[in-house]
Amino acid sequence: MVCLPISYLLISVDQVTAIGVVVGIGIFIASFVSTQVGLYIIVFSMLLSPEIGVGGLGGGSAALNQRGVTIRVEDLLLILLGFAWVVRAALYKQALSRDSPLNRPIIYYIAMCLFATVAGLMTGSVSGTTPLFYVLKYVEYYILYFIVLNNINSTNQIARFTWALLLTGLIVSVVAVAQIPGGGRVSAPFEGEKGEPNTLGGYLIFVGAIAGGLSLNLKKTWMKSALRLLLVIMFVPYVFTLSRGSYLALPFVYVTLIALHKRSRGAMIILAVVLVGAVSAAVPKTVRDRITNTFTDADYQAYYGTASLGGVGVDASVSARLDNWTGAAERFLDSPIWGLGVTGFGFVDSQYPRILIEVGLLGLAAFIYLIATVFREAMKVVRAPPDAFARGLATGVMAGTVGLLVHALAANTFTIVRIMEPFWLSVGMVAAASGFGRANSAEVPESE
């Protein structure tokens, strides 16, 4: 019964589509048989899968109508994994979600995004199918969290998925390093012609924070050495992203790691001083220019008509952001409580103005509640972990989240799939580890 329509479909489409259908069916079957297999596929597809441009779906704001919608292969993989997970749970009469303190704030934030968007459709601030499509994209990230939360049963599993995440980070970094001789800013694989260096910078900040948290907590020398080597390799493409938002985030990540690991505090402070001196002396001219050109003189302002920040002139890029934020602030006043709906103002190149204008003060409160709960759950694992590996992962997640909050000043960090997938994968593992602690699973074997 099933094979007949599939066979008809395969002979009715082109070869590439047919291969995609076959691969999709294979992934669905593999994910149905073993959700963990599907999760490994998702982990290795992060930043290593191409995008599929589907053009505009209609609706949204005028700015969004010019951009079209981008779908990545990992989006489709995650949909297949989520569908297989739901079918499996229904057949075996399993609960879709374990209890976790993060469940409620996630539901609140999703509900706020949906409510604001539906209200926007009713009032005309958004239109068409694009707004709802973007809401579904947001939901996609949380589906990954729930799948991870419900399929992690030991810290050994956490260790395996984390090593897979770090291996993916290594591959991405090597590919990015290979771009350096070509000149220009480096970006992640399969980012199109222009690339998204800021996205790669945010990704490296978060994954690097996890590697740093683990290196401070694991005891085995070879693991600590491997993690530190990974950090060195990741630092090279990080520098050549020329992403000022990512540069700004790194000190906050490092300070958070220092605060969370008291035993190494003195050595880390000394290392920071040494590294700042060494990097300052050896930093490439392109990086130095990228930082210094942020601030400009009066002649530059007069010629280009750029803005000033606190009386200091800024370059065209920062000036455009400030103008964009000003416009968003004016539109925010049209609906301050629940916002204009997702895509209600088009493109805003900063997370916080975007949240305010799309989902209003209620949405911002839900977002703050969600992030605060992430910190609270991670801190539980740092203070009373099932083992050293979970403590290291939770330390890295806390430091990485701080970094992403800073990175979000200059990017829509918490809506970017290539940053949010590793983020919610890691948060799901931390939430699972916190659940082990609540169940007093002291007998869980060490994973270091």
Label residue 305 by pLDDT band (50, 70, 90). low
Cα distance between residue 436 and residue 239, in whole Å:
38
Number of Cβ atoms within 10 Å of the Cβ of 167: 13
Q: Does residue 313 have a pLDDT over 70?
A: no
Whether residue 179 has pLDDT greater than 80 = yes
Q: Could you give the dihedral angle defined by the CA atoms of residues 311, 346, 189 and 254, in that order, rounded to the nearest 10 degrees? A: 40
Under 8 Å between Cβ of 150 and 36 = no
Residue range 17-34: mean pLDDT, rounded = 56
Q: Is 441 exposed, middle or buried (0-12, 13-18, 19+ CB in 10 A)?
A: middle
Six-digit token pair at 282? Answer: 């050896």
Q: Looking at residue 83, what is its pLDDT?
A: 74
**For residue 34, what pLDDT is reported?**
66
pLDDT tops 60 at residue 199: yes
Give the Cα separation of 421 and 93 in Å (integer): 27
pLDDT digits (tens, 9 = 90+) for 53-96: 555 555 555 444 444 556 677 777 777 777 777 777 777 666 66
- Record the tokens describing residue 16, joined without a space: 């590439």
Question: Whose CA is closest to 413, among 110, 187, 102, 205?
Answer: 205
Show me where the domains of the chain are located.
103-438
C-beta neighbour count of 193 within 10 angstroms? 4
Residue 52, pLDDT above cutoff 90: no
The whole-chain average pLDDT of the chain stands at 80
- Per-residue pLDDT band for 315 (boundaries 50, 70, 90) equals low
Q: Which amino acid is at 248?
A: L
Q: Could you tell me which residue, 36 or 193, shows the higher pLDDT?
A: 36
Beta-bridge partners for 295: 314
152: its two tokens: 């992690």
Write out pLDDT tens, residues 235-251. Answer: 999 999 988 889 999 99
Using the predicted structure, report yes or no on whether residue 306 has a pLDDT greater than 50.
yes
- Of 135-149, 308-322, 355-369, the range with the lowest mean pLDDT is 308-322
Contacts of 271-280 with CB under 8 Å at 24 or more apart are none
Q: How far apart are CA 333 and CA 435, in angstroms?
A: 41
Range picked from 118-132, 347-361, 362-376 for highest mean pLDDT: 362-376
State how far the Cα of 64 lies from the Cα of 179, in Å rounded to an integer.
30
CA separation for the pair 61, 134 (Å, rounded): 12
Residues 258-287, mean pLDDT to the nearest whole number: 79
Distance CA 198, CA 248 (A): 12
| pLDDT given for residue 369 in this prediction | 97
Predicted local distance difference test score (pLDDT) of residue 216: 93
Tokens found for residue 408: 């979000």
Identify the band that residue 329 occupies on the pLDDT scale cut at 50, 70 and 90: confident
- pLDDT average, residue stretch 439-444: 49
3-state secondary structure of 176: helix
Q: Which two tokens stand for residue 61?
A: 């704001």
pLDDT score, position 57: 53
Going by DSSP bridges, is the β-strand pair 69-72/295-296 parallel, antiparallel, or unpaired?
Answer: unpaired
Token pair of 326, please? 């000003």
Predicted confidence band of residue 442 (pLDDT cuts 50, 70, 90): very low
Max CA pair span of the chain: 74
Run of H or E residues at 274: helix 265-282
Measured in degrees and rounded to the nearest 5, phi and psi for residue 313 equal -70, 145
**CA 223/CA 262 separation, integer angstroms:** 20
Q: For residues 141 and 39, what is the distance between their CA atoms, to the nearest angstrom?
A: 13
Residue 52: strand, helix, or coil: strand
Coil, helix or strand for 308? strand
**Out of 171-175, 277-281, 355-359, 399-403, least confident range:** 277-281
Which sign does the torsion angle of CA 272, 273, 274, 278 carry? positive
CA distance 247 to 241: 9
Q: What is the CA radius of gyration of the chain?
A: 23
**Among the listed residues 56, 60, 58, the one whose alpha carbon sits nearest the alpha carbon of residue 125:** 60
Distance CA 343, CA 358 (A): 7
Calculated CA dihedral for residues 400, 406, 408, 413, nearest 10 degrees:
-10
